[in-house]
Amino acid sequence: MIVVDVNVLAYLWIPGEWTDLAVQALARDAQWATSILWRSEFRNILAGYLRRGSIAPAIAQRCLAGAEAQLSGREYVLPSPLVMRKVAESTCSAYDCEYVALAEDLKTKLVTTDKQILRDFPEWAVSLREFAGAR
């Protein structure tokens, strides 16, 4: 099992430049876990695509439904003290610290493309590129 942040989820479900790496990461470990926060963040990402006219509403709904099905049973609510401890240890946002706290709590890695998370939490975070085995 790995923890993924919302960007990795978006790369998997919304075709783009990082999609191949997200697919490779899924092939390497299909047991993805995440913070319940991902839902609001993912909806916001989809809203941006919709407003720019990059995807149709029906496609956005399919992306959201697919991601929700994929993560069913593996969405976690984090205790505030655990998240705030990560905030105090870093310069990352509380949003980002939720994913890091979950990785620590589950004793696994957080797969991300977020440079700040990778820099502040090298013991818990691994880059999508590295995890997927890309060169």
Q: What is the CATH number of the domain that holds 96?
A: 3.40.50.1010
> For the chain, how many structural domains are there in total?
1
Q: What is the pLDDT of residues 20-44, one digit of tens each?
A: 999 999 999 999 999 999 999 999 9
pLDDT at residue 135 greater than cutoff 60? no
C-alpha span between 61 and 46 (Å, rounded): 9
Q: By residue range, what is the domain housing residue 115? A: 2-132
> Which tens digits make up the pLDDT trace of 70-128?
999 999 999 999 999 999 999 999 999 999 999 999 999 999 999 999 999 999 999 99
CB half-sphere exposure, 19, CA atoms < 13 A: 5
| 134 pLDDT higher than 90 | no
pLDDT for position 7 = 97
pLDDT at 133: 87
